[in-house]
Amino acid sequence: MSAPNKSYDPVEVEALKPEEIDRARDEALAAIAAAGDLEALREVKVAHAGDRSPLALANREIGALPPQAKADAGKRVGQARGAVNKALKARQEELERERDERVLVEEAVDVTLPYDRVPSGARHPMTTLSERIEDIFVAMGYEVAEGPEAEAEWFNFDALNLDPDHPARSMQDTFFVRGQEDQGAAGSGSGDDSGVVLRTHTSPVQIRSLLARELPVYVICPGRVYRTDELDATHTPVFTQVELLAIDEGLTMADLKGTLDHMVGALFGEGLGTRLRPSYFPFTEPSAEMDMVCFVCRGKSVGDPANPCRTCGSEGWIELGGCGMVNPRVLTACGVDPERYSGFAFGFGIERMLMFRHNVEDMRDMVEGDARFTRPFGMEI
């Protein structure tokens, strides 16, 4: 602001000269009239009516005038600013009206047009559930590992301590892609002479992870697996498993149990326990079947025929899959010292989990690709 100006000389206060005020007002009015849309008008408003506009700056100079000149200059600046604000308001209303009319035309919906008869798709609940499971373990520091679906027999069986005469290797369960006699191609590390199968479980990713990664290893391996099962309400020849492997110094069965409890809590709600039942898998020792407390009846349906539970069949427990401490023979096959390292693994089928988690009664619904099945799970695309 200029210093007080005792003998008022308009030359000294350039911005307050009548012709300067008229010029600032006329420029503002011209810019307002020329603003073609609301965005342009916003810019005009800042330039001609904002805090740093010529008229606002002139207004600040009034204080520096001698008293006899203040009223005159104040009136002139006030009238100019009033005219600019009035023009801004009028143009704003005009442009808003134009915009509303344009939107009405551009966004008009012709309700007589035929609707899209092809239903929109939705993310498959199997995808959503798999990602949810991955997220739980990634949050705990696990990495996601993958392996091929056409897998060397050595990875799928031998390295996992499944002898050549193990029943799971028979034609009954396994899709053989190429026998040992046609060797020479795909996928084995130790098994250049190995046949190739469609992997029957995700456990071969355990072997691949142990061979490829530095210790300690904490991986989660989701993926598609194949078995020569007939498609029925509870089986499909192509299904999805999630495998978990943790190898470190000093891991025990208690770590396995704690990890399972955490997963069940994260997926089904806190306070649901798990239990381990002795079982046998060649690649874990000791091995167990893992069950969780039924998340619907929480075990209360057991021995209460008046309140049966469809989810657990009134057993109080739901079977999740297999688990155990990784067999030292598997560690040795992967070059890991079993004297120093130990660890646990578990694996389960996601289709079966989706069935009991969401009351899906028939597994065939999951594989038929009908959007009427997937849509109620949400996430339309």
Q: Which stretch binds ligand FA5 (CB under 6 A): 74-82, 93-101, 229-237, 290-298?
A: 229-237
Q: Which of 142, 154, 218, 239 binds ligand FA5 (CB under 6 A)?
A: 239
CA distances from 78 to 70, 73, 304, 322 (A): 12, 8, 87, 84
For residue 289, say whether it is annotated as part of any ligand binding site: no
* Range 52-76 burial, b when 16+ CB lie within 10 A, else e: ebbbeebbebbebbeeebeeebeeb
Rounded Cα gap, residues 7 and 66, in angstroms: 7
Stretches 23-31, 146-154, 238-246, 302-310: which one binds ligand FA5 (CB under 6 A)?
238-246
Give the separation between CA 260 and CA 170, rounded to whole angstroms: 31
Q: Which residues of 356-370 are buried (b: 16+ CB within 10 A; e: fewer)?
A: bbeebeebebbbeee
Q: ∠ CA(73), CA(79), CA(85), 5° rounding?
A: 135
Out of 123, 166, 178, 235, the residue judged to bind ligand FA5 by CB under 6 A: 235
Closer to ligand FA5 at the Cβ: 27 or 229? 229
What is the smallest separation between the CB atom of 201 and ligand FA5, expressed in angstroms?
3
Of the pair 155, 281, the CB lying nearest ligand FA5 is at 281
| Chain-centre distance for alpha carbon 227 | 30
Name which of 193, 195, 213, 215 is nearest 146 in CA terms.
213
Distance of alpha carbon 91 from alpha carbon 294, whole angstroms: 67
Taking the C-alpha atoms of residue 15 and residue 21, their distance in angstroms, rounded to an integer, is 7
- Considering only residues 318 through 377, tell me which ones interact with ligand FA5, judged by CB under 6 A: 321-324, 345-349, 351-352
Q: Which of residues 249-308 bind ligand FA5 (CB under 6 A)?
A: 281, 284
Residue 41 or 159 having the CB closest to ligand FA5: 159
User: 286 vs 299, which CB is nearer to ligand FA5?
Assistant: 286
For ligand FA5, the binding residue among 25, 201, 208, 257 (CB under 6 A) is 201
Report in angstroms how near the CB of residue 358 gets to ligand FA5 at its nearest: 15
Q: How many residues sit in the footprint of ligand FA5 (CB under 6 A)?
A: 22
Q: Are strands 196-198 and 176-178 parallel, antiparallel or unpaired?
A: antiparallel
- How many angstroms separate the CA atoms of 324 and 256, rounded? 8
Side chain identity, residue 294: C
Structure-block tokens of residue 181: 């006699």
How do beta strands 217-226 and 143-144 pair? Answer: parallel
Q: Which position among 134, 229, 248, 315 is part of the footprint of ligand FA5 (CB under 6 A)?
A: 229
By beta-carbon proximity to ligand FA5, the closer residue of 54 and 223 is 223
- Taking the complex as a whole, how short is the minimal distance between the CB of residue 289 and ligand FA5, in angstroms? 8
**Least distance from C-beta 148 to ligand FA5, angstroms?**
16
| Residue 248 touches ligand FA5, criterion: CB under 6 A | no
Query: Do 137 and 345 meet the contact criterion of CB atoms below 8 Å apart?
Result: no
Annotated binding-site positions for Mg(2+): 285
Annotated binding-site positions: 285
Q: Which residues bind ligand FA5 (CB under 6 A)?
A: 201, 203, 227, 229, 235-236, 239, 241, 243, 281, 284, 321-324, 345-349, 351-352
